[in-house]
Amino acid sequence: MNKWFKSGSPWIWLSAGGVSISLISVLGLLWLIASRGLSYFWPAELYQFDMVDEKGIATEVIGEIYDRERIPASQLAHLELNLDPEQTSIERLLIKTGNRELVSLDFRWILAPQIITTSTPEKLVVIERRTNGNFYGFIKQLILDGKPVAFSRFDELLERVDNFQEQLDKLQKVDIGAINYQLERLRLKQRKHDLDGTLTSALEEEFRQQSNSLNKEYVQLEEKLMQLRNNIARDALVVTAMNGEEITINFEHILKLSFNNQLSIIDKINVFFGQIIDFVLDDPREANTEGGVFPAIFGTVLMVLLMTVIVSPLGVIAAIYLHEYAGKNALTKLLRIAVINLAGVPSIVYGVFGLGFFVYMVGGSLDQLFYAENLPGPTFGTPGVLWSAITLAILTLPVVIVSTEEGLSRIPASMRHGSLALGATKIETLWRIILPVASPAIMTGIILAIARAAGEVAPLMLVGVVKMAPNLPLDGNFPFLHLDRKFMHLGFHIYDVGFQSPNVEAARPLVYATATLLVTIIVVLNMTAVKIRNNLREKYHALEQ
């Protein structure tokens, strides 16, 4: 034993334990996020519990099992549950009961000992709705234009409504949005002329005519909108909730209807993937706590793309300078310290700098110079997607520099010598020989920068992210790309929904799902980058031999 201790073996094992803990935590973390996130999409079994509470009153609870935990029996002593005295803990279930219009909370704890029977009736249905969250219950009657009809016609009616709904969305977002946008631009144009002192009465008349015709168009569209709304509201569904309460759900609120307990495994898998696709492509509902995350994905991607456009040339040029041009002097040392520090400065400091310098100083000056007609309303003098992209570009600059420089340093000197010996100038050597060979390293740097930017939230909270953006930064209205607009971001979505939303409990699965999506994107990006880098190393290795 003593000898064993002296050999140092226990210490070696302890340090191995450190590796194990690190591995367990990385993999455990990924597994935790993935399992919680993906289960959000899996169609849950629907339960009906018949219960008797401590006062002897029978109730019925319908819903999904959301969570279960054991609590010490002593905590519930006051309820007089007639338990086995041996039993020290009691199981309780958190049930998602939905039906928010009937009960104020859509979650409810029930105690396992109070449950008399548990069943999974095949006719139980879950209805996903536009407002008030899910509905759980039984179908009673389908009503077509006030007259009851057979339930088998449900799919046909829903499809009809979906059709109208699609038209409605297009009308609201695209057509009416465009008119509003044009009206606003018209107003600004007029104001600009007014400020410049070039507003003649003829011009004014022209503006008035244009705005009149736009307003007329608007009225027409509005009429169409009303018509569509009426069409959509034609049919309804009568359902019974738990405890026999009857309610009518109009078709305009119904998104999806599913008899989860009737689904086979293959059906469930289908539903699972369908749900994932919906999640990625849909707009959020109910203050972001339901629906999809499309605007957040779109905002993240757009911002990251803009950032890439800015950071790639800068980073590559800086790396080339450091590796190919810089001499061994104090300036180079300073530069290296600058790169290290840019990588080490807390991201929130970039946010503060971005807000003060880009948004208020640069943006404010731009507004004074070019967007005076909109003042005092800011155009670029307020957080937006452009400033976010620039701020993150500075933040990720060192990532690109370090990676590119590493790639450059791995290129064998013989390649440079060969090119120069053949009479090429330095820039020709760089452009024709070095950069093409180093391009995978540059790619690696850019991918790592993208991964970093996609996960960064703190600076964006100051320079452009919002919880709910009314318009995407890219749309069909000239000039199509609106760099001044605020945008939504997956990382901020997680923070906002998980911590700022009024109903955190209900939103939690969605947060896990969003987190899964974000982690997947980032892990895939990182693995790609590592893969490219490793391939590159091997290739250079081969070149050197």
Partner 1 sequence: MAATSIASKSIVSKSIYKSGRYANKRQFKNKLAQWLITLGGISVLFTLVLIFLYLLYVIKPIFASAEIEPIQSIETELSAKVFSIGIDELKELAYFIDGQGLINFYQIEESDFRDVGSKVLSQALLLDDVDNTKLKLLVDGSDKKLLIDNHNRIHLISPEFSASYIGDQRDIIPAITYPLGEESLVIDEQAEPIENIAFAMNDELAVFVAFTKDHRLIKTTFTAEDDFNYDPAYETQYQQISFQEKQVDRILVTPDLAMAFVQSGNKVFVYSLDDEDDVPLKALINPVGTTNMRSSAKELPTKELTSMALLSGGSSILFGNSQGEVTQWFEVATDNGREFKQIRHFEVSNNEAITNIFTEKYRKSFYTITASGEIGLFYTTSEADLWRGNLLGVQPTAFSIAPRADGLLMMKGQNLQLFSVENEHPEVTWQALWQEVWYEGYPEPDYIWQSSSGSDDFEAKFSLVPISFGTLKAAMYAMLFAVPIALSSAIYTAYFMTPALRKKVKPTIEMMEALPTVILGFLAGLWLAPLIENYLPAIVLLLVFLPAATLLTAFSWHKLPEKMKKRLPETLAPIILIPVLILAAYIAFTLSPVLEIHFFGGDIRQFITNDMGINFDQRNALVVGIAMGFAVIPTVFSMAEDAIFSVPKHLTSGSLALGATSWQTLIKVVLLTASPGIFSAVMMGLGRAVGETMIVLMATGNTPILDWSIFQGMRTLAANIAVEMPESEVGSSHYRILFLAAFVLFVFTFVFNTVAEFVRQRLREKYSSL
**Interface of this chain with partner 1, residues 171 to 200, rule: CB under 8 A:** none
Q: Which residues neighbour 387 within 8 Å (Cβ) at sequence distance 6 or greater?
A: 354, 358, 359, 363, 380, 463, 464
The verdict on 511 binding partner 1 (CB under 8 A) reads: yes
Paired tokens of 134: 């899910």
Residue 261 or 501 having the CB closest to partner 1: 501
Residues in contact with partner 1, counted by CB under 8 A, come to a total of: 109
* Residue 296 burial (10 A CB sphere; 0-12, 13-18, 19+): buried
Q: For residue 47, what are the β-bridge partners?
A: 63
The footprint of partner 1 on residues 460-479 (CB under 8 A) is 461-462
Pick one of 239, 297, 307, 318: the residue that binds partner 1 (CB under 8 A).
318
Position 499 contacts partner 1 (CB under 8 A): yes
3 versus 147: smaller Cβ distance to partner 1: 3
At 489, the amino acid letter reads: H
Q: Confirm or reject binding of residue 213 to partner 1 (CB under 8 A).
A: no
Determine if 18 is a binding residue for partner 1 (CB under 8 A).
yes
Closest alpha carbon to 63 in 113, 109, 104, 130: 109
Q: According to CB under 8 A, which one of 171, 225, 287, 326 is a site residue for partner 1?
A: 326
Q: For the chain, what is the total number of helices (H) and then of strands (E)?
A: 17, 13
- Provide CB contacts within 8 A for 517, sequence distance 6+: 37, 279, 280, 293, 297, 490
* 181 contacts: CB under 8 Å, gap ≥ 6: 477
In the bound state with partner 1, the residue whose beta carbon lies nearer, of 9 and 215, is 9
| Contact criterion met (CB below 8 Å) for 488 and 299 | yes
* Among the listed residues 157, 242, 306, 339, the single contact to partner 1 using CB under 8 A: 339
In the window 408-427, what residues touch partner 1 (CB under 8 A)?
413, 416-417, 420-421, 423, 425-427
Q: How would DSSP label each residue in 469-492?
A: -SS-SB-SSTTSB-TTS-B--HHH
* Interaction pattern, residues 71-90, with partner 1; x per rule: CB under 8 A: -x-xx------------xx-
Binding-site member from 53, 54, 70, 109 for partner 1 (CB under 8 A): 70
Residue from 144, 186, 345, 372 in contact with partner 1 (CB under 8 A): 345
CB of 235 to partner 1, least distance (A): 40
Based on the shown chain and the rule CB under 8 A, indicate whether residue 510 belongs to the binding site for partner 1: no
Binding partner 1 by CB under 8 A: which of 41, 66, 251, 492? 492
Cα separation of 105 and 339, whole Å?
A: 52
Does the protein bind partner 1 through residue 375 (CB under 8 A)? no
Cα separation, 179 vs 171, whole angstroms: 11
The residue among 284 and 464 lying less far from partner 1, judged by its C-beta, is 464
Contact 410, 537 (CB under 8 A): yes
Minimum CB separation of residue 301 from partner 1 in Å reads 15
Identity of the residue, 14 or 57, whose beta carbon is nearer to partner 1 in the bound complex: 14
Q: Find the Cα–Cα–Cα–Cα dihedral 365, 367, 371, 374, rounded to 10°.
A: -140
Nearer of residues 149 and 372 to partner 1, judged by Cβ: 372
Find the shortest distance in angstroms from Cβ 9 to partner 1: 6
Q: CA 135, CA 286: separation in Å to the nearest integer?
A: 15
By the rule CB under 8 A, 290 interacts with partner 1: no
Site for partner 1 contains 543 (CB under 8 A): no
320 part of the interface to partner 1, by CB under 8 A? yes
Please state the closest distance from residue 12 (CB atom) to partner 1, in A: 6
Strands 107-111, 89-96: pairing kind: antiparallel
